[in-house]
Amino acid sequence: MTTMQCVLDAQAKLAECPRWDEHTQTLYFVDIDAFKLHAYNTQLKTLETRIFDEEIGCFSLNEKGGFIAAFRTGVYTFADLHAPLQVYWLATYDKKTTRFNDGRCDAKGRFLAGTMYSPKDAFKGALHQFSQGQEKLIDQAAWTSNGLAFSPDNKIMYYSDTPNHVVYQFDYDLESGTASNKRIFIEFPRGNGRPDGAAVDMEGNYWSALYQGQRVVKISPAGDILEEYPVPATYPTMVAFGGPDMSTLFITTCRSAQTEEELKEFPQAGGIFAITVNTKGQYEPKFAG
């Protein structure tokens, strides 16, 4: 797949959190505004869907099977796609203005998930960490928590604040799960896309979906843009590596933000796009409990 293709015309309102399961060759993803979690088996080309009662922002696969997921009202586990939800942590923030958005597990299987504060008039979005039944606040200074990813040596944590066009780096201590020394990794100019969800490849490059930027950018560990991949949708939301050898880049997109004019230009907005790239992704850690 040397050119970008729509591999699933999902017509999703807000597809996010693409997550590859190498054991089943399945791409999971959410449609946040439709309250859905999808499982797309890329070999059988089958789509299985669960609809919840509220927004599901992000999730990770659980080592024990099933999922841990961050919703508007908190964090829950469930034993398989259709199993009942078990409360892990009930949100203590204002659920009318705030919901969970982006997240993933670190290499020790801790689940990190960040919130977005919809009024966007104060930095009330926060990054939380969930492990051993406990919740820990990692950072609180974003409008929209996004772009969470880890370097291959697990010493750097990336975290973006989309409306502010900034991706941050932290030093990350994997043993203790602590993040420190927050600094700007890259800041994008206004008016040409802002950094949404992301993934880091095996060489340490940070791949960022540029929301309202119609493209994905590959950024070196030093913060230089190395490559740009146009996407046939105005609002790419997140990327994930997958495929038989982890060199397929999957891209989720948003449909609901498209204007009528943009929909004419990009009728498959809301779909899942893919292209083969010249690097491989890291395998996604699972939740350890």
Ligand X SMILES: O=C1O[C@H](CS(=O)(=O)O)[C@@H](O)[C@H](O)[C@H]1O
Three-state DSSP class for residue 264: helix
16 is a contact residue toward ligand X (CB under 6 A): yes
Structure-block tokens of residue 188: 């994008």
Q: What angle do CA 121, 91, 125 make, to 5 degrees?
A: 25
Site string for ligand X, 210-229 (x = CB under 6 A): -x------------------
With contact defined as beta carbons under 8 Å apart, do 184 and 173 qualify? no
**Binding site annotation covers 175?**
no
CB of 217 to ligand X, least distance (A): 16
Among 26, 42, 77, 144, binds ligand X (CB under 6 A): 144
With contact defined as beta carbons under 8 Å apart, do 38 and 52 qualify? no
CB of 270 to ligand X, least distance (A): 13
Among 31, 106, 139, 196, binds ligand X (CB under 6 A): 196
Among 60, 98, 160, 162, binds ligand X (CB under 6 A): 162
98 is a contact residue toward ligand X (CB under 6 A): no
127 is a contact residue toward ligand X (CB under 6 A): no
C-alpha to C-alpha distance for 218 and 86, rounded to whole angstroms: 37
Structure-block tokens of residue 82: 């259709």
Residue 32 or 149: which CB sits closer to ligand X? 32
Q: What angle do CA 2, 12, 206 make, to 5 degrees?
A: 50
Cite the annotated binding site for substrate by residue number: 99, 101
In the complex, which residues of this chain contact ligand X (CB under 6 A)?
Answer: 14, 16, 32, 101-102, 116, 144, 146, 162-163, 194, 196, 211, 237
Q: Residues with catalytic annotation?
A: 196
